[in-house]
Structures are given as C-alpha cells and as structure tokens.
C-alpha cells in the first residue's frame, strides 16, 4: 500500500500550478486503468482502455474495452506428464488456452468541482465473454496415459450494470489521474462444456449461471488519462 500511495503522490506533485480542467474544446479523453494488488503491487489491469466523449462540460459518453477476465489467470498453459514417477519414459501433455474480453457502454455526469478537480457520477452497461480449450495428448488431463487424446472446450458470457462515482484530477494541461468506485450487479452464463475423446463426444459438463453483487474499485483502482 505504501508504494501505491507514493505512486499517486508523485503523479499529483508533478503537476504545474497552472493545471486545470479541460473543456469541450478537447472533447475526447483516453485513459488506461491501473489496479493495485496487495500481494503483487501495482499492475496494469491487462489491458483495459477507456475512451470518453464530452458532449458538454458536464455530460460524457464512454466506451471501455478490456481483454482478459480481470484476474491473473494466464492466457495459456502447458503441462507435461511423465510415464515414470522419476521423470523418465514417454511423456503426455495438457495444453490450455483461454481468451476473454469485456466492454462497457456508459455515461458520466460531471459536477462543477474546482479548477483541477472534476467529480462525476457514472452509469454503465457491461458485456463480455470468454472461451476455454484444453488439449490432452497421451494424457487424461492429470497424468500420462498412453494413447488417450482428448479435448475439453467451454465458454461463457457476462452481462451487468454498474453505478459509480469518481473524479478526474488534472496534474498538467490535459493530463489527469483519477479514482472510481462502483456498485455493480452482474451475471455469468456458462455454456455446456464438451469433452471429446478420439474425435467423438464423450461427455458434457452442464451449463449453469452465476450472479454477483459487488462494491469497490471495479475495472481499475487508479486511472491515468489524456484529454485531447
């Protein structure tokens, strides 16, 4: 947490005395979202970008696009299993590939604030989805099994809405940092997983749905943006 506060303070203090809010003369802003993990420290919320368009000084529309599911889960994995417990003999493998995206369409209402500070309220509709694929070669997914070749596939889609409050703080001309907190409700619908062995369907994992309610710094604790 100490590194996090030093990072934010350094950005703020780097601003000039003449930094002030931009106006609709610069109607667009583009920002990246940064997340803070108490274990791993600061990291880019990989990768997430938000584009805003200010129709007036108070009202802005926004479009947010991200890849990944917001967790540190890797996009690919490779596991090797050996025929013998001492790591000798023939080998089998399990390859995992994941892909996910998320997007948000929304709007913001900015209050008067100060010369440098622009507080706002936000409303967003969130959509997303992902795919999951496993390929087993001479493996049952957990160990070496000669001649067993199989695949496991699945996918999911997400939908949600969020209400938020945040602020932009201009540290230089057209350059700002910000925070945003959200209350969100979302659901995740998982497709039926399909297990294929030797080219024939061998089984299914049932489809199901989950719902979540959360409060917090969703989609990035810190925002760094440029107004243009």
How many folded domains does the chain comprise?
A: 1
DSSP state of 73: -
- For position 104, what pLDDT does the model report? 95
Whole domain around residue 104: which residue ranges? 2-227
CB atoms within 10 A of CB 13: 8
Report the SS3 class of residue 1. Answer: coil
CATH number at residue 189: 2.40.160.20
How high is the pLDDT of residue 7?
Answer: 46
Q: What angle do CA 213, 132, 211 make, to 5 degrees?
A: 15
Q: What are the pLDDT digits (tens) for 169-199?
A: 999 989 999 999 889 999 999 999 999 998 8
Q: Six-digit token pair at 104?
A: 């948000």
Q: What angle do CA 136, 98, 123 make, to 5 degrees?
A: 155
pTM for this predicted structure: 0.78
Average pLDDT, integer, range 110-124: 95
Query: Could you tell me which of 179, 165, 174 has the C-alpha nearest to residue 220?
Result: 179
Mean pLDDT of the chain: 85
Interval 61-77: pLDDT, tens: 999 998 876 666 788 99
């Amino acid at each position: 947490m100490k590194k996090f506060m030093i990072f934010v303070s350094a950005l703020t203090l780097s601003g000039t005395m003449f930094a002030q809010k931009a106006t609709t003369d610069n109607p667009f802003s583009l920002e990246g979202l940064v997340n803070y993990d108490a274990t791993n420290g600061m990291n880019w919320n990989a990768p997430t970008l938000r584009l805003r368009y200010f129709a007036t000084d108070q009202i802005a529309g926004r479009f947010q696009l991200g890849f990944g599911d917001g967790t540190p889960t890797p996009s690919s994995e490779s596991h090797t299993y050996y025929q013998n417990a001492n790591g000798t003999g023939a080998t089998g493998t399990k390859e995992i590939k994941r892909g996910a995206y998320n997007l948000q369409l929304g709007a913001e209402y900015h209050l008067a604030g100060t010369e440098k500070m622009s507080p706002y309220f936000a409303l967003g509709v969130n959509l997303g989805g992902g795919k999951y694929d496993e390929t087993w070669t001479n493996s049952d997914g957990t160990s070496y099994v000669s001649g067993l070749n199989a695949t496991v596939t699945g996918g999911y889609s997400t939908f949600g809405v969020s209400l938020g409050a945040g602020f932009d703080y201009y540290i230089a001309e057209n350059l700002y940092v910000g925070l945003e907190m959200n209350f969100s409700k979302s659901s995740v619908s998982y497709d039926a997983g399909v297990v294929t062995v030797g080219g024939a369907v061998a089984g299914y994992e049932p489809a199901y749905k989950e719902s979540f309610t959360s409060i917090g710094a969703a989609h990035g604790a810190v925002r760094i943006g440029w107004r243009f």
